């Protein structure tokens, strides 16, 4: 066996995460997407980050 | 990584064109169906994966090289990258406080203990937060096995985070503005000086050009991450979110945890991973590393053989990487790289604790069966 197998499994893993998420009803709406750049948008950052306490 | 070229040049060119086409198509599809910001974040993640794998820029390996051989090159490159980001990010955070947030977190007992265990675990599997993603993408079987347990550990650690922080946590300390930048750069220079002083005489030389290029490109990508997402580069949150979504799919009520019941986290649980900042960059890192490995022909490399205890240790270490990085408010990326480069004291505390843990982890790795005993 070679790394073709394991790299393929890694790519399959992320594909499974995305597809299962979409199949679970997590919808996408590009018309409600934030501006392309947060910098200069005038909007607060809303992403999750490991350094943030819960609720941030 | 072995460079194995078995196909004809024309076939290689066709394969490489297909790889680039697939990457571009993914980015465009996410931009089209989710939004331009999310397409950009996937592209930034791909860039991280390509640079980290392509130029062999990492965290766990250079720390191991310093501990075992007193070779400082990789750590010096890390410090250069962090300094470049800090020079831009700390002033930007001061001038755009409503739009940008730093990786700012408190120092505490659990945070220090978490960083120590993370440092040890990352040396056992020789993969940190970003390294596990990169290595899995390039076909490293140890990282591939560690990755899902990293995600489960991150989910569990986040679920228990408030219990751990209640053990004792100091106020958040941030080096802000011009003064904060001077302090950060002085501390980085001080660490570089200590690393240089502790280096073996035969290794006491500047990093090779490859590492300088990698440091600059990683820094530029980290700054792009900050400008696009409004927050610094991170890894661990996205992995925990994937496991949390898996738990929800299995019927587990994750909102019993105050962490996942908190408004921002509950919103992200309901939203697509294709709109989550760290999920997108994580996906990009794995895909980018896979792209580079395929581009080089490195996927033809045979898989190594390990004893059963090595796989058991990999699973345990993978879980600990995820769990402890939540207690430590980040891994080598979210706490060390992004914490220090955005002025957070916890990044420095993380570095000290994790490096001490790495000294232990280097000695544990042979016992785990992941390498021949020295």
Q: Where in chain B are the domains?
A: 17-298+305-367
- The residues facing B344 across adjacent strands are B174
User: Which of the four pLDDT bands, split at 50, 70 and 90, describes residue A54?
Assistant: confident
Select from B264, B322, B348 the residue whose CB has the most chain A CBs within 10 Å, as the one to mutate to test that interface: B264
Q: Indicate yes or no: CB of A55 within 8 angstroms of CB of B264.
A: yes
Tens digits of per-residue pLDDT, B317-360? 999 999 999 999 999 999 999 999 999 999 999 999 999 999 99
The reply to whether A23 touches chain B by the CB within 8 Å rule is no
pLDDT score for B6: 53
Query: pLDDT band at residue B8, thresholds of 50, 70 and 90?
Result: confident
Could you give the ipTM of this predicted complex?
Answer: 0.96
Cβ separation of B265 and A30 shorter than 8 Å? no
Contacts of B4 (CB under 8 A, 6+ apart): B297, B298, B300, B301
CA distance A16 to chain B (A): 11
Q: Model confidence over B254-282: pLDDT tens digits?
A: 999 999 999 999 999 999 999 999 999 99
Interface of A with B in 29-48 (CB under 8 A): 30, 32-48
> Rounded to an integer, what distance in angstroms lies between the CA atom of residue B343 and that of residue B41?
23
d(CA B289, CA B242) in angstroms, rounded, equals 20
Among all residues of chain B, which has the CA nearest to that of A13?
B148
Across residues B24-33, what is the average pLDDT? 97
pLDDT tens, residue by residue, B184-241: 999 999 999 999 999 999 999 999 999 999 999 999 999 999 999 999 999 999 999 9
In angstroms, rounded to a whole number, what is the distance separating the alpha carbons of residues B164 and B108?
9
CB atoms within 10 A of CB A40: 11
Which residues of chain B neighbour A53 with C-beta distances below 8 Å?
105, 165
| Residue B105 with chain A: CB contacts under 8 Å | 51-53
Q: How far apart are CA A49 and CA B236, in angstroms?
A: 8
Which residues in chain B are contacts of A13 at CB distance < 8 A?
136, 144, 147-148, 286
Tokens 């207690």 appear where? B327
């Amino acid at each position: 066996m070679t790394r073709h197998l394991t790299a393929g499994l890694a790519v399959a893993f992320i594909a499974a995460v995305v597809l299962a998420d979409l199949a679970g009803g997590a919808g996408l709406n590009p018309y409600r997407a934030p501006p392309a750049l947060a910098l200069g948008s005038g909007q607060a950052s809303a992403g999750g980050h490991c350094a943030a306490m819960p609720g941030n | 990584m072995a460079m194995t070229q078995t196909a004809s040049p024309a076939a290689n060119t066709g394969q490489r064109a297909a790889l680039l086409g697939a990457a571009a198509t993914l980015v465009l599809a996410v931009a089209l169906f989710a939004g331009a910001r999310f397409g950009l974040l996937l592209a930034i993640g791909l860039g991280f994966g390509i640079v980290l794998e392509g130029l062999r820029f990492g965290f766990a390996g250079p720390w191991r090289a310093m501990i075992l051989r007193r070779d400082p090159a990789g750590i010096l490159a890390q410090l250069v990258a962090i300094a470049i980001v800090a020079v831009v990010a700390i002033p930007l955070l001061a001038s755009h406080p409503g739009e940008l947030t730093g990786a700012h977190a408190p120092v505490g007992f659990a945070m220090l203990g978490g960083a120590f265990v993370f440092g040890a675990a990352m040396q056992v599997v020789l993969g940190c937060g970003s390294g596990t993603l990169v290595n899995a993408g390039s076909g490293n079987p140890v990282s591939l096995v560690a990755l899902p347990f990293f995600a489960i550990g991150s989910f569990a650690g986040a679920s228990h985070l408030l219990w751990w922080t209640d053990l004792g946590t100091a106020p958040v300390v941030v080096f802000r503005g011009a003064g904060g930048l001077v302090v950060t750069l002085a501390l980085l220079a001080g660490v570089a000086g200590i690393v240089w002083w502790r280096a073996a005489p035969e290794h006491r030389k500047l990093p090779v050009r490859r590492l300088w290029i990698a440091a600059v490109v990683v820094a530029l990508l980290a700054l792009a991450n900050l400008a696009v997402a409004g927050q610094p580069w991170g890894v661990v949150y996205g992995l925990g979110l994937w496991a949390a979504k898996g738990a929800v799919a299995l019927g587990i009520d994750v909102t019993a945890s105050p962490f996942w019941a908190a408004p921002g986290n509950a919103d992200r649980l309901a939203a697509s991973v294709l709109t989550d900042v760290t999920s997108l960059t994580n996906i990009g890192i794995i895909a980018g590393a896979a792209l580079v490995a395929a581009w080089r022909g490195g996927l033809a490399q045979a898989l190594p053989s390990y004893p059963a205890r090595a796989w058991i240790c990999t699973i345990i270490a993978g879980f600990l990487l995820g769990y402890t990085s939540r207690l430590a408010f980040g891994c080598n990326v979210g706490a060390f790289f992004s914490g220090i480069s955005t002025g957070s004291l916890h990044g420095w505390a993380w570095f000290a604790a994790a490096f001490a843990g790495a000294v232990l982890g280097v000695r544990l790795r042979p016992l785990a069966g992941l390498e021949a005993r020295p």
